[in-house]
Amino acid sequence: MSVVLLLFLLIPLAGIAMAMRVRRGAALFWLSLAVVLLDDLCLLVGMSDLPVCLPITTAGGWFYLDALSGWHLLVMLLVFTASSLFALVYFRADLASDRLSIATARRYNQLWLGSLWTMTLTLLANNIGLMWVGMEATTLVTAFLVSIYPKPAAIEAMWKYLIICSVGIAFAFVGTLLVAAALPSGGAGSQQLFWTQLMTTGGYNHLLLKAAFLFSLVGFGTKAGLAPTHTWLPDAHSQAPGPVSAMFSGFMLNAALYCIMRHGAIVNHALGSDMFTGRLYIFFGLMSIVVSAAFILHQRDIKRLLAYHSVEHLGIITLGLGLGPAGCFAALLHTVNHSLCKSLSFFAAGRLGQLYGSHDMDRIRGALRNAPLWGIALVGSLLALIGVAPFSIFISEYLLVKAAIDRQAIAVIVIFLVGSGVIFVSALGHLIPMAWGEGQMLSKKHCSVSAVIVVTVLLSLLLFLGLFLPVPIRNFLDQAAFLTGGVQ
C-alpha cells in the first residue's frame, strides 16, 4: 500500500525525463496526459477503498497521507486530468501553425509535470518544513508557465508573481521556524516537525505558536490569494495560457490553503480550542469576499473576472474553516466544487478568448451561437460559480450559511450574503451579453472529442454533486473536517 505514495512522487519525475526524448510537439502533450492518467490509475487501484485505508505512512515516516491530504490529492488529480486533456485542445492550433515551437512545448510540459510533482510533494510531506519546501517550489516551477508565450504583459505578470509569492512564502517559513521554537525543548530530534508528532505533543509555548500561525496565514495566504495580498493573482491568472490558469485556480491556491489548514490544526490542538484561528479565518475570509466583490463589479477582462472569483471562493473556503466542524465540512466540499467549476470556466474563457481573439468582455458576444460547446460551458460554469441551484456550489454555500447560523454569527452571514449578492448580480450582468448578445459572427469551428468529454464530464459532476452526496464521500469529508479542526 505504502508503495503507492512513492509512485505518486516517481511517476511525474519519470515523465519529465521522458519528455527530453520526445521529438513531436503533440506527443509531448499526450505524454503529460498519460502521466496524469497513470497517477489516477495508482489512486484507483492502490487506494480503491478510500478513505478506509488512510492514514498511510512510508519512507521512515517522511511521507504521509491522511484524510485531509487524501481529499486534496483527489481534487488535484481531478484538476490535472481535466487540464491536461484540455491542453490538447487549447494548444492544437498553435502547434499546427508553429507558434509553439517544439522546444517551448517541451519546456511547457516539463514545467507542467514539475508543478504536479511539487504539489504532490506538498501534500505527501509529513514534515511541515518539507511541506514548505514543496510549496515554495510550486511558485518557482509555475512562474515560467505564466510567460510561456513571452509577451510583455505576461512577463510583467510573471515577475510580480515570482516576487510577491516568494516574499510571501518566505514569511510562511518564519511561521514554520516559530512552530519549531514553540516546541518544548528536548525531544525526538529530527522527528519533531513531523505532523504526526506535532499533533501528539503538548507543552507548546502558546504565544510563539500564535505568532507562528499569523506568519503562516499571511505567508501561505499570499499564495492562496487571500486579500489583501492577492494582487499578483489577477495578473498571473489572466496572462497564463488557459490550462495553466485552470490549474492555478483549480488547485495551486488550494494547495497553499491546505498548508494553512495544517498549521491551523496544530494551533487548535495546542490551545485546545479553535477560537484563535477561527477569528482570523473569518476575518481574512470575509475581507477576500468583500474585496473581490468590489473588483468584479467593474471588470472588463473575462479572465481577470474569473481570477477575482477565485479570490472570492478561496475567501469562502477560509471563512468556512472558521466556523467549527460543520463549517470545515462545508469548506472542504466547497474546495472540490470550486476546483471543478473554476477549471471549466477557465477552459471556456481560454477557448473563447482564442476564438474571439480577445479577453475583453465587450468583444465576446453571442458565445452560445458562435461556439455552442464553449458557450454552454461558460454559461453553466458561471451560473454554478455564483451559486445557482442545483449546482454543487449552492449546496456547499448553503451548508456554510447553516454552520454560521448554528454558531449565531449573524454579522458574518450578513457580510457574506451581501458580498455574494453583489457578485451574483454583477457576474450575471457580465454573463448575459457574452452568452446571448448580438455581435460579430464567427465561422463555425469543429469541436474535438476531448473538448466534448471535458465539458460534459465536468458539468455533470457539478450537477451530480449538487443533487446527491454519496455516503463514502460524506465519510471522507467528515474525517478530513475532523483533522482540519485539530481539537481532539
- Give the interface segment with other proteins, choosing from 3-11, 46-54, 177-185, 431-439 (CB under 8 A): 177-185
Nearest approach in angstroms of CB 248 to other proteins is 15
Q: Which of 132, 195, 391, 416 binds other proteins (CB under 8 A)?
A: 132
CA distance 323 to 328: 7
- Using rule CB under 8 A, residue 196 touches other proteins: no
- Using rule CB under 8 A, residue 239 touches other proteins: yes
Q: Which is nearer to other proteins, 180 or 368 (CB)?
A: 180
Cis peptide before 51 (omega within 30 of 0): yes
Nearest approach in angstroms of CB 165 to other proteins is 10
Q: Which of 152, 438, 446, 471 binds other proteins (CB under 8 A)?
A: 152
Nearest approach in angstroms of CB 13 to other proteins is 15
Q: 336 CB contacts (<8 Å, ≥6 apart)? A: 71, 74, 75, 78, 465
CA distance 56 to 66: 7
Which positions from 111 to 130 touch other proteins by CB under 8 A, shown as an x/- string? ----------------x-xx
Q: Which of 88, 143, 266, 386 binds other proteins (CB under 8 A)?
A: 143
**Cell triple for 8:** 505518486
- What phi and psi values does residue 57 have, to the nearest 5 degrees? -125, 145
Whole-angstrom Cα Rg for the chain: 21
Q: Which is nearer to other proteins, 169 or 317 (CB)?
A: 169
CA distance 79 to 63: 22
**Cell triple for 351:** 477557448
428-462 as b/e, with b when 16 or more CB fall inside 10 Å? eebbebbbeeebeeeeeeeeeebbeebbebbbebb
- Using rule CB under 8 A, residue 177 touches other proteins: yes
Q: Which is nearer to other proteins, 118 or 396 (CB)?
A: 118
229 touches 217 (CB < 8 A): no
Sequence letter at residue 446: H
Q: Which of 27, 102, 181, 473 binds other proteins (CB under 8 A)?
A: 181
CA neighbor of 28 nearest in space, from 103, 140, 86, 117: 103
State how far Cα 239 lies from the chain centre: 17
Cis peptide before 55 (omega within 30 of 0): yes
Q: Looking at the chain, how many residues does it have?
A: 488
Nearest approach in angstroms of CB 291 to other proteins is 13
3-class secondary-structure state, position 127: strand
* Residues binding other proteins: number (CB under 8 A): 53
Residues 6 to 65: which contact other proteins by CB under 8 A?
62
Sequence letter at residue 82: A
Nearest approach in angstroms of CB 315 to other proteins is 19
- Using rule CB under 8 A, residue 214 touches other proteins: no
CA distance 247 to 237: 10
Q: Which is nearer to other proteins, 86 or 171 (CB)?
A: 171
Nearest approach in angstroms of CB 407 to other proteins is 32
Q: 347 CB contacts (<8 Å, ≥6 apart)? A: 82, 83, 86, 90, 242, 243, 246, 374, 377, 454, 455
CA neighbor of 92 nearest in space, from 343, 447, 376, 371: 447
- Using rule CB under 8 A, residue 405 touches other proteins: no
- Using rule CB under 8 A, residue 299 touches other proteins: yes
- Using rule CB under 8 A, residue 137 touches other proteins: yes
- Give the interface segment with other proteins, choosing from 67-75, 298-306, 415-423, 430-438 (CB under 8 A): 298-306
Q: What is the DSSP letter of 360?
A: B
Which positions from 442 to 471 touch other proteins by CB under 8 A, shown as an x/- string? ------------------------------
Q: Which is nearer to other proteins, 142 or 396 (CB)?
A: 142
Helix, strand, coil share of the chain (percent; to 5): 75, 0, 20
CA neighbor of 118 nearest in space, from 103, 98, 136: 136
- Using rule CB under 8 A, residue 268 touches other proteins: no
- Using rule CB under 8 A, residue 167 touches other proteins: yes
Which positions from 303 to 322 touch other proteins by CB under 8 A, shown as an x/- string? -x------------------
- List residues binding other proteins (CB under 8 A): 62, 127, 129-130, 132-133, 136-137, 139-140, 143-144, 147, 150-153, 155-160, 162-163, 166-167, 170, 173-174, 177-178, 180-181, 183, 185, 187, 189-190, 192-193, 205, 207-208, 234-235, 238-239, 295, 298-300, 304
